[in-house]
Amino acid sequence: MPTLVGGDELYKRGAFCSMDPARLFSVLDVYSRPCKRLQISEPRRFYYNEEKNPSIEVLPDECLYEIFRRLSGGQTRSISACVSKRWLMILSNVRNSDSEPNKVNTSLKDEQENDGYLTRSLEGKKATDTRLGAIAVGTSPRGGLGKLLVRGSSEVTSIGFAAIARGCPSLKVLSLWNVSLIGDEALIEISKECHSLESLDLSQCPLISSKGLAAIAKNCPRLCYLTLESCQSIGNEGLEAVAQGCLNLQSITIKDCPLIKDQGIATLISNSLVLTKLKLQALDITDLSLAVIGRYGKSITNLALTSLRTVTKKGFWAMGISKNLESLTSLTVISCHGVTDLSLEAIGHGCRVLKHMALKKCCFVSDKGLVSFAKAACFLESLHLEECNRISQHGILGTLSHPNAKLKALSVVKCMGIRDLEQEPVGLSKSQSLRSLTIKNCIGFGNTNLATLGKLCPHLHSLDLTGACRINDTGLSKLLKACTGGLLNVNLTDCINLTDEVVVDLAKTHGRTLEVLNLDGCRKIGDESLAAIAENCLLIKDLDVSKCGITDSGVSCLSNGCINLQVLSLSGCPRISNESMISLELLGKTLVGLNLQRCSLISSSVIESLVANLWRCDILF
């Protein structure tokens, strides 16, 4: 058979690729025309050899980078990033500032692309370098990444954060929790590009040291919020760098960082002129740090000190006696043995505008210190005492009966020193300001205490007696009669000795104002209480009768009277059955929450019907 003209030349090494394009397509045209059938065992095919196939993939990364940075518009870059992982990683290395269209186009639209509106959160196995690269490429055309949270990852590395840094210069909030492979390199990359960073939260990041924190401090002067928790490698040098570079710090939280000592805290506090919130927990600091806080903390409004084991009473005394905490309105002290009666009184005198005070597990504070503090802190509005076992009923009454007291809320939780009074005391001044009273899980609290508090606090709006197992109808009735202002919120959870009699009294006395009532665990409460509530409490919105002795009849009473009820809990009521379905559907006109858990007599078919009919209501079953 005659040889095809040009066939050998066409397939010579390199001839195909070097042929003139016009000639190439004319030749292909000739051999694609219909002709006489060829008698050959295998037809000759015209195709590009894979090794000689001209493709963009043969270009090195440097060339692709130059091509990609000239792509116009964020959407085009996002589409290109979907082609392959290689393209994605190359595109994620293109800085917005290096993109050729951004250099030319300075329109308002391009300026708004990097304002930082979007939030992205990656947890566990979802946090990888590839995902971070995709975020870096994809968020720019959608408003720019403003907040990034990465939690519980053992795969993400500094490569992913380098992509975030280059692609998301608008980043304002960065939170890293339990990321074991992230070190200083990641923070250094962020600091190079994200100069608008305002909030940094580092928790359980063992490889991040003072070096990475110093890079942030040097290049991110807008930093306002800093949280360091369980960062074993960050020490005084990092805090000193923050003190020098971040003059706009407003909130600082430092917890369980063993390398941070007095030097770092003192330098940071003394240079933070606009600091308003400070939280220190489980640090190896001494009295010096608290003295510095008292001396330089003029702008601090919220201060929380927790588990400072090496701080003594001298430190708390020095902090208070300096009288420079002139803006402090909220103070929380937890598990600090240095808080004594003397230091607490000094804090009361020194913090002249203090409004909110919380003492938890401060075992050396007694009645004497509490009363002295209450007298000194003349602007105090809220006082929370928890597990302060040297405080007794006498300290509580002395605090409330102080004639100049402005206290609006008192909460006493798990204070084992409180015992019931043998008889009601006389000569105590009434509190005209107290509106909220919580006596929670104080096992010694009894009827006489309750009656006395009723006389002292006639203007209560909120009452919480959770776990008061020693009180009964008699004591609570005296308080209800003494409260002339009208109760709005009453919590009687696990008051196991209360009966229908006192609930009926409550409904009749305070039904015109009552909005929230919790009777969870009051086993002696039954249908009579629900009937009184339905008749008298027209404003009630939230009712919890879990583990009470109510039946279908009580639920029927509710459906005929409670026209504003929004949340109803019947959890653990074994006598509620399918017969309550119609009543619950009537209540469902206003309900947004219904708890039917552990109601064994309600069948699954009734539950399904309620779920279908009460489509506006969130039903737990």
pLDDT tens digits, residue range 303-356? Answer: 999 999 999 999 999 999 998 999 999 999 999 999 999 999 999 999 999 999
Within a domain: 600:
yes
**Taking 50 as the threshold, does the pLDDT of residue 545 lie above it?**
yes
Across 257-279, average pLDDT:
96
Q: Which of 170, 154, 280 is nearest to 228 (CA)?
A: 280
Q: Which residues of 208-242 are buried (b: 16+ CB within 10 A; e: fewer)?
A: bbbbbbbbbbebbeebbbbbbbbbebbbbbbbbbb
Residue with tokens 């805090």: 239
Between residues 1 and 130, which one has the greater pLDDT? 130
Q: Same structural domain for residues 50 and 65?
A: no
| Least confident interval from 52-56, 149-153, 359-363, 384-388 | 52-56
Last residue of a domain, one of 181, 197, 213: 197
Within a domain: 522:
yes
How sure is the predictor about 163, in pLDDT bands with cuts at 50, 70 and 90? Answer: confident
Tell me the C-alpha to C-alpha distance, in Å, between residue 587 and each of 74, 129, 555, 582: 52, 52, 9, 9
Confidence at residue 401, expressed as pLDDT on a 0 to 100 scale? 87
Q: Same structural domain for residues 156 and 32?
A: no
User: For residues 305 and 339, what is the distance between their CA atoms, to the nearest angstrom?
Assistant: 11
Within a domain: 480:
no
Element at 161 (helix H, strand E): helix 158-167
Through-space distance between the first and last CA atoms of the chain, rounded to whole angstroms: 86
How sure is the predictor about 32, in pLDDT bands with cuts at 50, 70 and 90? Answer: very low
Confidence at residue 234, expressed as pLDDT on a 0 to 100 scale? 97
Q: Same structural domain for residues 38 and 141?
A: no
- Positive or negative CA dihedral for 384, 387, 388, 390? positive
Across 20-32, average pLDDT:
36
Give the domain CATH number at 593.
Answer: 3.80.10.10
**Amino acid residing at 415:** C
Give yes or no for a contact between 593 and 566, defined as CB atoms under 8 angstroms apart: yes
Between residues 604 and 46, which one has the greater pLDDT? 604
Confidence at residue 98, expressed as pLDDT on a 0 to 100 scale? 57
How sure is the predictor about 93, in pLDDT bands with cuts at 50, 70 and 90? Answer: low
| Least confident interval from 79-93, 171-185, 253-267, 536-550 | 79-93
Please give the mean pLDDT across all residues of the chain: 85
Q: Same structural domain for residues 502 and 595?
A: yes
How sure is the predictor about 131, in pLDDT bands with cuts at 50, 70 and 90? Answer: confident
Give me the domain span that covers residue 105: 61-197
Within a domain: 465:
no
Across 4-16, average pLDDT:
37
Q: Same structural domain for residues 179 and 74?
A: yes
Confidence at residue 9, expressed as pLDDT on a 0 to 100 scale? 38
The number of residues in the chain equals 621
**Taking 70 as the threshold, does the pLDDT of residue 111 lie above it?**
no
**Amino acid residing at 39:** Q
- Three-state DSSP at 457 gives coil
Across the chain, which distance is largest between two alpha carbons, in Å? 129
| Least confident interval from 53-67, 162-176, 599-613 | 53-67
User: For residues 106 and 102, what is the distance between their CA atoms, to the nearest angstrom?
Assistant: 7
Residue 27 corresponds to which tokens in the numbers above?
A: 């030749």
Residue with tokens 């190439």: 24
DSSP string for residues in 350-405: H-TT--EEEEES-TT--HHHHHHHHHH-TT--EEEEES-TT--HHHHHHHHT-TT-
Confidence at residue 35, expressed as pLDDT on a 0 to 100 scale? 41
Half-sphere exposure of 562 (CA within 13 A, CB side): 34
Confidence at residue 562, expressed as pLDDT on a 0 to 100 scale? 87
Q: Same structural domain for residues 36 and 101?
A: no
**Taking 50 as the threshold, does the pLDDT of residue 38 lie above it?**
no
Across 267-271, average pLDDT:
95
Per cent of the chain over pLDDT 70 is 81
Q: Same structural domain for residues 170 and 72?
A: yes
| Least confident interval from 63-72, 198-207, 336-345, 472-481 | 63-72
Q: What does pTM read for this prediction? A: 0.82
Within a domain: 31:
yes
Give yes or no for a contact between 417 and 392, defined as CB atoms under 8 angstroms apart: yes
Confidence at residue 583, expressed as pLDDT on a 0 to 100 scale? 94
User: For residues 462 and 522, what is the distance between their CA atoms, to the nearest angstrom?
Assistant: 19
Within a domain: 339:
no
Report the domain count for the chain. 3
Within a domain: 328:
no
Q: Which of 469, 420, 461, 460 is nearest to 440 (CA)?
A: 469
| Least confident interval from 26-35, 351-360, 542-551 | 26-35
User: For residues 617 and 371, what is the distance between their CA atoms, to the nearest angstrom?
Assistant: 48
Confidence at residue 88, expressed as pLDDT on a 0 to 100 scale? 60
User: For residues 621 and 175, what is the distance between their CA atoms, to the nearest angstrom?
Assistant: 36
| Least confident interval from 80-94, 269-283, 289-303, 530-544 | 80-94
Confidence at residue 91, expressed as pLDDT on a 0 to 100 scale? 58
Q: What's the angle, vertex CA 10, arms to CA 7 and CA 12, rounded to 5?
A: 110
**Taking 50 as the threshold, does the pLDDT of residue 16 lie above it?**
no
Q: Same structural domain for residues 600 and 537?
A: yes
Confidence at residue 61, expressed as pLDDT on a 0 to 100 scale? 57
Confidence at residue 74, expressed as pLDDT on a 0 to 100 scale? 60
Last residue of a domain, one of 39, 54, 69: 54
Within a domain: 303:
no
Q: Same structural domain for residues 147 and 30?
A: no
Across 489-511, average pLDDT:
96
**Taking 60 as the threshold, does the pLDDT of residue 399 lie above it?**
yes
Confidence at residue 81, expressed as pLDDT on a 0 to 100 scale? 58
Give yes or no for a contact between 245 and 227, defined as CB atoms under 8 angstroms apart: no
Q: Same structural domain for residues 17 and 112?
A: no
**Taking 50 as the threshold, does the pLDDT of residue 109 lie above it?**
no
Across 560-576, average pLDDT:
93
DSSP string for residues in 47-86: ---GGG---GGGS-HHHHHHHHTT--SHHHHHHHHTS-HH
pLDDT in tens, 220-233: 999 999 999 999 99
Across 8-37, average pLDDT:
37
Confidence at residue 446, expressed as pLDDT on a 0 to 100 scale? 94
Last residue of a domain, one of 147, 168, 197: 197
Q: Same structural domain for residues 68 and 41?
A: no
**Amino acid residing at 389:** N
Q: Same structural domain for residues 42 and 67?
A: no
Burial (CB count <10 Å: 0-12, 13-18, 19+), residue 548: buried
Confidence at residue 107, expressed as pLDDT on a 0 to 100 scale? 36
User: For residues 127 and 610, what is the distance between their CA atoms, to the nearest angstrom?
Assistant: 40
Encode 186-234 in three state secondary structure: HHHHHHHHCCCCCEEEEECCCECEHHHHHHHHHHCCCCCEEEEECCCEC
Confidence at residue 403, expressed as pLDDT on a 0 to 100 scale? 75
